[in-house]
Structure 1
C-alpha cells in the first residue's frame, strides 16, 4: 500500500544508515509459496530499483490522467529522467545522513525489489521535538496483499523501539490517499491531530508542498541498557 510524505525533501531526515550496514542477517517471510526478505539496500542496483518503484508508484498514475502528449513525453523522456533524479537523491541522502538516525529498507524477492520504506526523524510543527516518521512506504502493485507492507512496517517499528528507543512512530499520508489511510489505521495507527501538516515532496523533479494527515502509533520500548545490547539481526 503506497504512502508518501514523500520521504524526501526539506532535508528533513536526520538519521543513520550505520545500524543497517552492521547487521549480518536478513529476516525472511514466506507467503503463498513465495519467499521474500527485508534488508537495507546494498548494491547500486537495489538503489536504482527502489527509485524506480517510487517513481512508478507515485508519478505514473498522474501521467495516466494527463493528455496524450503529456503521456507520450513521460514514456519517452520524463520517466527515465525522474528515475535517475530520484536515484541520485536517495544515494546522496544516505551518504549525508550516515551517522544519524535515518533508515531505508527494501523487500526483495528473487533479486527484485518489490517494496521499500524510508523512515527518519522529522521536526514537529513548532520545531520543538523530532519524531520518528515514515516518509515513504510502497509496494509493487503485483506484490500487494501478500504482507509486504506489513513486514516493512513491522521492521520499521522494531528499529524505532529497539534501536532508537522511541515510544511512538508516526506516518504522514496525503489527504487524498485513502488506501494508505486505511492501511495505517488497520495496523494500529490513529489520527494524531485534526489539522493537516504541510509536507514538501518531490514530483517530476520539482518540490511541492501538500497537506498530509499525521498518524501515530504507540509502541512498547524494551528495557535494554543501550543499543549495543540489541541483537543486530533485528535490523536487517
Structure 2
C-alpha cells in the first residue's frame, strides 16, 4: 500500500472530533429546551449525542460550559445562515431606525425557542455560578453591548445624540427593559414594544 493510499484510509481525527462536538452541541441545546437546565445532565447529553461521557469531560468541565459553548456556536451559525454578521451594527445615518432594526431582531431571537431555553438557563445559572456568569457576560453580552456603544458614539459625532451622554448608560434605557420583560414575563415582547423603548429613550417623556 502506498503512503497516499494509507493516508486516504486513515481516519480524520479532526473531522471526527468536529462531528462529535456538533452532536454534543445539538444534544445539550435540545435537552435544555425539552427538560430544563436542572434536569439536563452530562450523562444525558452524552447519550443523546452518541458519545462517551469521558469525551465530554475531556473538553468541558461542566454542563454549564457545554451549554455556553453550544449556545455561542448556535448564535454564530444562525448569523451566518442569515447572511449577516454578529459583529456589526447598522449605520444608515438614522439612529432611531438603526436601533429599532436591531431591537426588532433581538425580539425575534428571544422569542425563538432555540434561543429562549438555553439563554434563560445560562442567565439563571450565572446568578449562582459567578464564574459562569462572568464568562456568559464576557462571551455573549459584552460584545453585543459594545456594538451599541460604538453606534451611539457615532451618533454623537454626527450630532444626533448629545455629546455629554454616556453611551453605556444610554443603551440601558432600551436594552435593559427589553431583557427584563423577557426574563420576568411582565408583558408581551413585540416589535411595537421595542420601537416604543427607542422612542421614549431618544425623545423623552416630557412635552418638547
Give the structure with the higher percent helix: 2
More strand by share: 1
Structure of higher RCO (CA pairs closer than 8 Å, 6+ residues apart) = 1
Question: Is the structural similarity TM-score above 0.5?
Answer: no
Tell me the TM-score normalized by structure 1.
0.26
